[in-house]
Amino acid sequence: MFPALRTAWLVVPTPLVARFHQTAERQSCTVPTLWQQTLADFIQQGHFWRHLKKMRASYSQRRQWLESALQAQGFQVTPQLGGIQLVMSVSGDDRLLVRRAVVAGLAVQALSDWRIRHAGEGGLLMSFTNIRSPAMADGLARRLREAIAI
């Protein structure tokens, strides 16, 4: 919702507020004050909370569509309650599977790319925010199954 504004905020523990404020004063800010005040009003008036509530419901539905579609194709999905990505467990080289999926036009990431250590189970990380229907989720899951089939 806010990338175009190029702004962000932090929730800081009370004992650290003064230190963060001091540091922020020494940084240059490229976001106009009017935009910052408008965003603060937007949040204080509850509009941001309503937006989050709406998006959580929408993303929950989209996650369920993709999770069900992947499970119907025989994939194992790691259960989760929130977020905008899901993790699908895979055996073998998850980076190889990602390369195959990318060739098929799918956008997935290897879970191992996010690890500090090389050991551990492989997985595919995928977003569901652009899933618009159960049929779309089914089509993507089928394409993924075909792309990574050995």
Q: Is residue 70 part of a domain?
A: yes
Answer yes or no: are the C-beta atoms of 97 and 148 closer than 8 Å: yes
**What pLDDT, on a 0 to 100 scale, did the predictor assign at position 150?**
54
Is 34 inside a domain boundary? no
Q: Would 36 be classed as within a structural domain?
A: no
Burial of 143 (0-12, 13-18, 19+ CB in 10 A): middle
When pLDDT is cut at 50, 70 and 90, the band that residue 1 belongs to is low
Q: Which two tokens stand for residue 86?
A: 């899901």
Q: What is the CA radius of gyration of the chain?
A: 20
Least confident among 9-23, 36-50, 108-122, 128-142: 108-122
- Token duo for residue 13: 């523990």
Q: Is 16 inside a domain boundary?
A: no
Q: 50 lies in a domain?
A: no
**Within-domain flag for 10:** no
Residue of 113, 110, 146, 115 lying closest to 126 (CA atoms): 110
Domain membership of residue 141 (yes or no) is yes
Residue 117 domain boundaries:
59-148
Contacts with 112 (C-beta within 8 Å, 6 or more apart), sequence order:
94, 95, 118, 120, 122, 123
Domain count, the chain: 1
Residue 30, pLDDT score: 81
The arithmetic mean of pLDDT across residues 2-13, rounded, is: 80
CATH number of the CATH domain containing 99? 3.90.1150.10
Residue 54 belongs to some domain of the structure:
no
